[in-house]
Structure 1
Amino acid sequence: MRRPSCIDGPRRSGYPLGSPLAKRPFVSETNPAPTTPLSRLDRLWLTEAIRLREEHAGPLEDTEANRRANAAGGDLAQRIQARALWLAQRDGQVQALQHWRQGARLAGLLLVLLALVSGAGLAFAALGDGQRPVNLFWALGSLLGLHLLTLLGWALSFSLGGSASVVGRLWLWLSGKLARDAQAAHLAPALLLMLQRRGLTRWGLGVIVHGAWLLALGSALVVLLLLLATRRYGFVWETTILGSDAFVFLTQALGALPALLGFSLPDAETIRTSSSVLAEEGARQAWSGWLLGVTFTYGLLPRLLLGLLCLWRWLQGQSRLGLDLGLPGYSLLRERLQPTSERLGVCDAAPVELVQSQGGSLTDEGQGALLVAIELDDRRPWPPALPKGVGDAGVLDSREQRLRLLDQLGRFPPARLAVACDPRRSPDRGTLALIGELARSAAQTRVWLLPAPPGEALDSQRLDDWHQALARLDLPHAQGAPMNWLETGHD
């Protein structure tokens, strides 16, 4: 007679039912350990990406993910994050996030190089080659004109509650293009949606925008200083309809604030006589200091202060980030992750995109040994004679038996697990998924392909299908009984 599936296998396998062993992490191809630890922002980001993916492509196959999230405990938000992280690890979105970050760093490096080259170009355009006198206000317009226009545009967009930024959007676009990962399609939209709900998008993009301009203007100032230190420039102002008093007023108004910071300010007489090129060394030095001071005060300094403000608000806002549990995608998970009652016998429809079953193993050693069978014929006598210390988990026929055993193995994982299968049955997707999940709950796993009953022969083609399927799971299998291995750990 066949013995029914039981729940006291661990007691017979050598470790107590009351053992306070915590559930151990596992490593497999379907749930690889992240190569780098994920920050709180990364976990929220991946959770939002999984929500968007399920909205666009339909619900994912998440039976094991939900079971592990429920076993981990915590409130609903923590369980949703645990479920999403497991799915992201299984489906490759954790690796896609790492690829996206690499693309983001490369895009940031390209923007840094562009900013440095652009700043140097502004300085060369402002001063020229030194063969002609420098028109002061044309030089000032070359250095600060585009900066002031983009700063005005950013302030206008900010006041209207938007986050439009050419530099920021360029960085996001480049990050996605350089990631080159199909699984990263939902990462950028998920990040923007998550940040917009807390109003952090404009602060995050503001850090990028002001940081880029800070580099550009810093590069312009350095090149400007080098050119003024190594070349001889003459400075003039030119006009047709304005008088010299207008230039005196404008020059002193612009130079008043830089003068407070220690930069030179030409006197009124020097300004009036600068309608033609001056040969006096003092006048050239005064105009050089004025040009550097105005560029620093009205160019680099505002970008530095605004960049620090955006960075402060960004860091402050990150601590308030969280999941919006009112979203439909999260509300639907409440019953599965915090059920008010357990519903049995409900099977989800097959997903549009099938997930390849994979094997795996625990990273830590378990205790004892266990034998379990999957869907055996009633006419086959079971269990066989077991060595001392080897537990019998019975035959798994129903979904309830499978979930009960998986929950037990999650709390008391065995060191060695033998899974007996009848190779006369086809290795269907559900059976392979169960074998892979059992393997991920034990330190070592072997699959026992049972011999045919007397008078029958195994189908060689079906047996070959089993061998190929178990090879994809990366699990060892044997035709003979693995009793010696279960008892001693070796053949």
Structure 2
Amino acid sequence: MEPRVRPFENPTPSRLQRLWLSETIRLREEHAGPLEDSEANRRAQAQGGALSERIQTRAWLLGERDGQVQALQHWLQGARLAGLFLLLLAILSGSGLAVAALGDGLRSVNVFWALGSLLGVHLLLLLGWTLSLLLSRDSAGALGLVWLWLSAKLARDAQAAQLAPSLLLMLQRQRISRWGLGVLVHGFWLLTLLTALLTLLALLATRRYGFVWESTLLGGDSFIALTHALGSLPALLGFSLPDAELIRASGDSVLASEQARLSWAGWLVGVLVVYGLLPRAGLLLLCLWRWQRGQAALTLDLSLPGYSLLRERLQPSSERLGICDAAPAQLHQAHAGSSVVDSQGAVLVAVELDPQRSWPPPLPNGISDAGVIDSREQRKQLLDQLSRFPPARLLIACDPRRSPDRGSLALLGELARSAAATRICLLPPPPGETLDSARLDDWYRALEQLELQHSNSLPLSWLEHGHD
């Protein structure tokens, strides 16, 4: 059985997702301390590019290893579910507004109460959004915060809790969070008002409504002026505008004429379109335009301390030997994988063999001998070479008389991720010696956890031809 390939959760992450995950890793390291990142740094250096690209590559590799990439996918799934919930809420709210405005048709409709039911909450929240835009540096808005909260709850991933704060922090730093969440807010209200309009038209088409206005304090002239003021803009778009006599007569009783009903219905629909749908549609387009512009200009702030510390590690001015960083409080669990990008050839390498053992064995033509890895420098040199020229087949020889500690297993996993296919050979003991069965069982269990195929003899035929 060949080692199972562990592909990316998202093979082609978007630019925003890479920047987002970089910010999440930065905040995580600020709160919990530096992560063990030697392999991620090496692969980011091998890929090349500007410092920002290397930081993003490092963050994505660490996210894949530690589960942040999977948490990101869970958060996005939760965000879609939260968006679907808001979509259904908008449809139900719009239908409810229209039904509340017109009623069941058994009683006359007070045109200004109906207008208040349709546009009152919308206009109040629109005024609040405009004031927050003018007075606040950046605001997520109540609906935006509800969406973020629902997204985190529906993600059902403990690590996803770090994603929403890092996203907001990154977007607020560039002052584009208001535009991104503005798309959500105005899209919600546009759908709500559009549903209200369609429901209103359906009710007007299937029921007969009578329209009146009622007031104890205000006279007919005040209602005539108010009706004409509100209906002047819709009238420019072709919607009907009741004349003064019709408005004055509607204050006394419900007019039975068909023309009066059509005139009031057209006025109500026109006011809803002009003061409801059109402002929300315009603001939605504005927010979408500003969001796309801001997203295209979004970059990492390399002056932040968390990114400044990575400059020497990802773009070193000189190579250093020895220990550079203190050991982390908790090491990640090693895992294997494979690389299938431009891999060719076969390589044999040994890990920490007894110097008295005869090595290497006679090898067929076409197989490269990478020697024995005993030191940190040799390990780094080989990994750099395999990163540039990944082999199609890699055979790693290990001495089962040594214990399979965390460092050696991490090395095996890292080597396996540099080749298309990897096998482990647990070498037989020298003549006159026997292997410790308990220690050999430890090796078997560890290699099974790494999902690496292993044997007790050198599979040179597989190494040469790709099959046994």
TM-fit CA distance, 1:387: 3.0
Is the 1:414–1:443 Cα contact (8 Å) retained in structure 2? yes
| Most deviating of 136-145 and 88-97 | 88-97
| Alpha-carbon separation, structure 1, partners of 2:218 and 2:342 | 87
TM-score by length of 1: 0.91
Is the 2:5–2:338 Cα contact (8 Å) retained in structure 1? no
AA partner of residue 197 (structure 1): R
The structure 2 residue matched to 1:484, chosen from 447, 458, 461, is 461
The structure 2 residue matched to 1:313, chosen from 290, 306, 324, is 290
Q: Measured at CA, do residues 30 and 185 of structure 1 come closer, stay the same or move farther in structure 2, by a change above 3 Å?
A: farther
The percentage of counterpart residues that share the same residue type is 70
Q: Measured at CA, do residues 231 and 367 of structure 1 come closer, stay the same or move farther in structure 2, by a change above 3 Å?
A: closer
Map residues 265-414 of structure 1 onto 2, 5 A cutoff. 265-275=241-251, 276-346=253-323, 348-364=325-341, 366-414=343-391
AA partner of residue 46 (structure 1): L
Is the 2:45–2:315 Cα contact (8 Å) retained in structure 1? yes
| Most deviating of 414-423 and 68-77 | 414-423
1:163 aligns with 2:139: yes
Q: CA-to-partner distance for each residue in 1:26-45, whole Å, 9 max, x for gaps?
A: x9879633445211111111
| Alpha-carbon separation, structure 2, partners of 1:277 and 1:385 | 106
Is the 1:446–1:476 Cα contact (8 Å) retained in structure 2? yes
Q: Measured at CA, do residues 28 and 136 of structure 1 come closer, stay the same or move farther in structure 2, by a change above 3 Å?
A: farther
Give the equivalent residue in structure 2 for 1:80: 55
Give the equivalent residue in structure 2 for 1:224: 200
| Most deviating of 438-447 and 279-288 | 438-447
TM-fit CA distance, 1:455: 2.3
TM-fit CA distance, 1:334: 0.5
| Alpha-carbon separation, structure 2, partners of 1:413 and 1:30 | 15
Give the equivalent residue in structure 1 for 2:85: 110
Secondary structure in 2 matching 1:409: helix
TM-fit CA distance, 1:347: 5.4
AA partner of residue 258 (structure 1): P
| Alpha-carbon separation, structure 2, partners of 1:233 and 1:136 | 11
Give the equivalent residue in structure 1 for 2:116: 141
Give the equivalent residue in structure 2 for 1:100: 75
Map residues 433-448 of structure 1 onto 2, 5 A cutoff. 433-448=410-425
Give the equivalent residue in structure 2 for 1:418: 395
TM-score by length of 2: 0.95
TM-fit CA distance, 1:90: 2.0
Q: CA-to-partner distance for each residue in 1:340-391, whole Å, 9 max, x for gaps?
A: 1211111544433332211122225633322211112223232233333333
| Alpha-carbon separation, structure 2, partners of 1:136 and 1:483 | 89
1:207 aligns with 2:183: yes
The structure 2 residue matched to 1:431, chosen from 398, 402, 408, is 408
AA partner of residue 385 (structure 1): P
Give the equivalent residue in structure 1 for 2:168: 192
Q: Measured at CA, do residues 386 and 141 of structure 1 come closer, stay the same or move farther in structure 2, by a change above 3 Å?
A: same
What is the number of residues matched between the two proteins? 465
Is the 1:49–1:190 Cα contact (8 Å) retained in structure 2? yes
Q: Measured at CA, do residues 490 and 251 of structure 1 come closer, stay the same or move farther in structure 2, by a change above 3 Å?
A: closer
Secondary structure in 2 matching 1:393: strand
| Alpha-carbon separation, structure 1, partners of 2:466 and 2:202 | 74
Moved >4 Å (runs of 4+): 27-31
Secondary structure in 2 matching 1:361: coil
1:450 aligns with 2:400: no
Gaps of 5+ in 2: none
Secondary structure in 1 matching 2:338: strand
TM-fit CA distance, 1:434: 0.7
| Alpha-carbon separation, structure 2, partners of 1:257 and 1:225 | 20
Gaps of 5+ in 1: 1-26
Secondary structure in 2 matching 1:362: coil
Give the equivalent residue in structure 2 for 1:252: 228
Larger relative contact order (CA 8 Å, sep ≥ 6): 1
| Most deviating of 386-395 and 401-410 | 386-395
Is the 1:413–1:441 Cα contact (8 Å) retained in structure 2? yes
